Structure 1
Amino acid sequence: MTTFRTIGINKELVKGLKELGIVQPTEIQERTIPILLEKKTDLIGQAQTGTGKTAAYGLPVLQYIDPSRNEIQALILAPTRELVQQIQKQLFKFTKYCSEKIFAEGVYGGEKIDIQKNRLKRPTHIVVATPGRLLDLIERGDINIKNIEVLVLDEADEMLSMGFKQDLNRILKYTTGTRNTWLFSATMPDDIKKMISNYMSPAAARIEVNKNALVNANITHQYIRTSVKEKPNLLIRILDSRPEDRGIIFCRTKLGTQNLLKLLKEEGFSVDALEGDMQQKERDKVMRGFKKENIQFLVSTDVSAREIDVQNLSFVIHYQLPEQLEYYTHRSGRTARAGKTGVSLAFVIPSELQELHRIQKELGIRFNEVQF
């Protein structure tokens, strides 16, 4: 049996992993970690959210760090504040039993920049950041990333679809030198391919997990034929039939999200919403409630979906089909995390059947029609 020890992870980190219940490497970890530990190389990893990417790059990053060198040695970029906090927290937990302390700081919008400036004055070996806030700090001279040895781009396609393309290009220019770049992405749109050819070695190692299944294999894809008029009642019946389950309902627009939230609250459901125009404080409050299971269902737009990383979600419902193909991947990836199974259910009106077939073909998945 493959263990973290057999693929090169040191005893102290393995002890930290064991305490978190992480004993056997996932496929992305088993294939990535030995390559990254064996030699300094660029790496391109294509894998879904929820497959264990953080440990796949995080453990090698931690083993590369020299704790006696008081400078930033690794930079991890991620699309959202939520993901940055989560990565930072995981790195901290992995290092619980390390004899020499490795310090990771989180840098993101939504928190006063001065607080983060002060934190960065402490010993810092790893910075985990969202692109926008990191660029602010670089350009104000509050952070120096010139000597980093490893740059990780996590959920690179997400960062580009959120409009961070120019920020990323500027950051990559600030870090030119001897750094290695490790890029992880669920999908490989043209912009990502361009970034790879501009900033990464042609000899970069490539890892593809379930290349033909761009979507997590533990998700069951279903659809229901309906009409715009029937959708609200259909949704209420489905939620009523799942009294013990938790899930997310996706809409295309913030107005659609607000209307649906109002309807479901009037029907007595335990529900809240996430959408783009909310203040960070409100978003955090909603996410806390959802994570603590005080809220059973969440209504969300695609932009907000990226912040949601919650265990044990049984289903996602596409109340409206997504506008972009990769949104389907990211929406459905909120369920069936950490080896669990889940259902992704699309509400489809007659004019959208062709679009459903396109999603099926492009993503290599199969939708089963269900009646309700």
Structure 2
Amino acid sequence: MQHRKIVVVLKGYPRLSETFIAQELLGLERAGLELAIVALRRPTDGKRHPVHDEIRAPVHYLPEYLHQEPLRVARSLLACLPRAGFWRALRSLAADLPRDFTRNRVRRFGQALVLAAEWPADAGWLHAHFVHTPASVTRYASLLRGLPWTCSAHAKDIWTSADWDLADKLSSARWTVTCTKTGFEHLKMLANGSSPVHLSYHGLDLDRFGSFSEARRERDGSLAEEPVIVLSVGRAVEKKGYDILLNALALLPAGLAWRFEHIGGGEELDRLKALAKKLGIADRVSWKGALAQEEVLEHYRRSDIFALACRITANGDRDGLPNVLVEAASQRLACVSTDVSGVPELLSPEETGLLVPPEDPVALAKALERLIRDPALRGRLGEAAEHTVRHHFDHVSSIDQLKELFEREWQAAE
């Protein structure tokens, strides 16, 4: 293959909640791969992480809604019509529409037309991050351009997509990687041998999350002036289970001294603030909003406990292995979460963290009370969790794996 530049298709870029993707892009660049970033929507966050400023790849934005840029879409359609790939892509759309008769499906085809017509110079490969809408655009674009494509699947994109859609994409992609064992087993079953599926943990850039060597205060919740700090980082959305966490905090004994700090934006923030007030704990809760990575790191280091009440929502949405858990563990922070999806792949009960069932505020309150009252337990769990992260979740190994997968394909093509 003459051109090894990879077009990476993302839903939005940059995003504070997707640091793991930016970290991967930077790692691939440093490993010698040339990238071009294509995003389906422009950024909405007011801040950005330092890692975004280190990525050299140019960023190209497709029209988020086709009606907003009709001339651009029309020009792209005219440019693609003479291509043999146009009719292959159109047949694929015709097969998909009866099973997903939505405007969204047509929008993804239109975005693929724009991507194919405005193709980055010298690019010869497509890679989608997320197997739902970015992969739909990528798959159509690969047909339009006659180029191979690959995919990184994560969490929500797997569990909220129809099996037929996933199976079609898996069969047409050269390979797919995913970041949890549960996701891997599900995709491998759907692929049914049609194309390879690989397990690849995102890992953490341990240069950015260096060891925290300072001793934490041995607070045990007995002094009102020395409350134990419970931290959580994540978007205020249903699958994060913040309503469960707030209810658990409200169940803690009245005399126990604690404070809860939340970092992140999200559509449910107002509802959660109202719930905290209703539960009578609003004066113990601080809502920090979205923060940059270096600010988040400081909060990990001055907190005592990290809590995340992950759940599976009615439509199947769930976390994979939340990157914030890996970040918190890297700072010797004792973690409590639920036994959902990939969380047990990091947190082994009573060894590297505490796990409770989802949707169970009583069990979560008991786990939190144990950690609040027992600084020695927090220290033991935090040290073991950090050891696990630094030995098994270094992002260098995932970058090496991805680089090897790309290079194996290029060597085969040559």
TM-score bracket relative to the smaller structure: 0.3 to 0.5
TM-score of the pair, normalised by structure 2: 0.39
TM-score of the pair, normalised by structure 1: 0.42
**Which structure exhibits the higher relative contact order, with contacts defined as CA atoms closer than 8 Å and separated by 6 or more residues?**
1
Greater radius of gyration (CA) = 2
